[in-house]
Amino acid sequence: MSLSSKALLEALRSVVDPVAGTPVVPALKESDITLSGTGATVRVEPGYVTSPAVRASLTEQLQAAARQAGAQQLTLQFSDTVKAHAVQSGLKPIASVKNIIAVASGKGGVGKSTTSANLAIALAQSGARVGILDADIYGPSQPLIMGVSGKPVSNDGKTMEPLRAHGITVNSIGFLIDADSPAIWRGPMVTQALEQLLRQTNWPDLDYLIIDMPPGTGDIALTLAQKVPVVGAIIVTTPQDIALLDARKGLRMFEKMNIPILGVVENMAMHICSHCGHAEAIFGEDGGKHMARELNVPWLGALPLAKSIREQTDAGTPTVASDPNSEAAGLYRELARRVAVAVAALPKDMAGRFPSVVVENLKK
């Protein structure tokens, strides 16, 4: 059977990422395929960074599909380039940050900050360049969670250098005020402080910047959603009805701002006993999954309520960093992969591809 680039293209496009549940190479084109007799060389650009283990798994699946299309030999050339994606209309992306992801919840106490930290570290462990910005001005928790302290320095008197922990860059109002000093500020001051943290931090070139958003859907969260150039939002909730009620409001707020919903994460979905390993859904079961299905948004997964996660977080060593081989760390890595795949599927940022048009009034 002669090898056809069209048949090979269709076969490779049919391969689905086993974790994300979406095609591995949806944007593959015939121009990415070079035929050579009964073999082929294919340029694969998933749009996210693939770890060696993920790449080996995807390679096996793609080669199996290629054999069914008649290819006796398939050489894959992976490109792990993460592209910049479109943000809200009227806003400009930050030059050194390709993709800003907002992690939000309708209410506090659902583990949003813990999820943000582990998500950021998991993305970094995959090989991506990642930062995290603690946007909860009233209750910054990332300094404690990330186990980092000190004040950002300024090398030019205009911008501040972010701190580093667990392979990612971090900034927070918590680095700039005393740990026991409350931020007694009104809304406009809070949003101004956040914008300064975002835009006056000397972020290195980042593939992803995770924004740990303040809880709720009040004026502050709404203003941030309007002013921070994000590519998408993640909603963190717990399974019980009272949390889901507020999570819906948070989700709807982002939709009104025309910000894509990358998906819903159900935290504290199952309590795991540290003594016997018994699992019990003390907060209810599958509430976040049902909400995602009802509102037609992606379901990113469920995370357990485990004593170890709390202890590791309080110690400044989040689970993915301190216990990478644990089941919980694996769940966070799956979450990170689903998020990376979801971002890769978003519309690309086209603003930088076109030159600025300047209209001059030339006098004769």
List the beta bridge partners of residue 235.
Answer: 104, 264
Give CA–CA dist 202/161, Å, rounded: 5
Cβ–Cβ under 8 Å, residues 227 and 136:
no
> CA triplet 208, 213, 216: central angle to 5 degrees?
150
| Token pair of 196 as six digits | 């300064």
Q: Which residue intervals of 261-359 are DSSP H helices?
A: 287-295, 307-314, 319-322, 327-344
CA 34 to chain centre: 33
Q: Please list, residue by residue across 193-216, b when 16 or more beta carbons sit within 10 angstroms of its beta carbon and e when fewer do.
A: bbeebbeebbbeebbbbbbbbbbb
37 marked as binding residue: no
289 marked as binding residue: no
147 marked as binding residue: no
82 marked as binding residue: no
108 marked as binding residue: yes
Q: What SS3 state is found at 59?
A: helix
174 marked as binding residue: no
Binding residue numbers for ATP: 106-113
Binding residues: 106-113
